Amino acid sequence: MKKKIVDLESRFWSGSEVHSGVKLLETFFQFNDLVTTREMLNKIMISAIKKKPVPPQDAAAVFHFYLALRSFVRACFLISWKRNQWASGASPENDSLIKTGNLSVEEYRDPVRVFRKAFKAYRRKEYEAFLSSVVYFSLSDSGCKEEQKMVGPYIYLVKMLEAAYVIVERRVELGKERWLG
């Protein structure tokens, strides 16, 4: 039986082909820091709902961001199927590298739980459709009238960003040779 491979499509935004979910997360956070990513996603979401398109000079940045997020979602999907090697007994109060943000203590300790929960609520294709819709409506002056359908994937996507950042930070902390990704 052939192993089904999900194309991460990283070559379009990073310039290189990445085949590992965890390596793609590292590449993603090399190009985008967590705070800026959340702000950009929030800006796009508000533009899509309020019928106020992003300025034309930002359109290329929005499209580039869309490509990176689509690859990010695919990487999270791949990681959600793997056994969890990023679980930690660490508590967020003692960790100075990251603020947990929207993650609960359990999700902080076991970040892959966030991915599993997210892909249980929505399929990978639904996240990709959400990203396409939100980018489309943020670039046009016709706002999305069904914003309640966009809130769920948006919240899960923010949590996935934070969980992915925890995974990347733990990988850096514990040494890359231990994680073969």
Average pLDDT for 36-50: 89
Burial of residue 94 (number of CB atoms within 10 Å: 0-12, 13-18, 19+): exposed
- pLDDT tens profile 119-167: 999 999 999 999 998 898 888 877 666 666 788 999 999 999 999 999 8
Give the span between the Cα atoms of 12 and 22, in whole angstroms: 18
Closest to 147 (Cα-Cα) out of 59, 62, 44: 44
- pLDDT tens profile 107-116: 888 899 999 9
* pLDDT on residue 148: 65
Asked if 103 and 162 touch (Cβ cutoff 8 Å), the reply is yes
The mean-pLDDT minimum among 9-13, 52-56, 62-66 falls in: 9-13
Residue 54 gets which letter from DSSP?
Answer: P
**Band of the pLDDT at 96, cuts 50, 70, 90?**
very low
- The residues, any chain, with a CB within 8 Å of residue 89's CB and separated by 6 or more, are 109
Name the pTM for this structure: 0.83
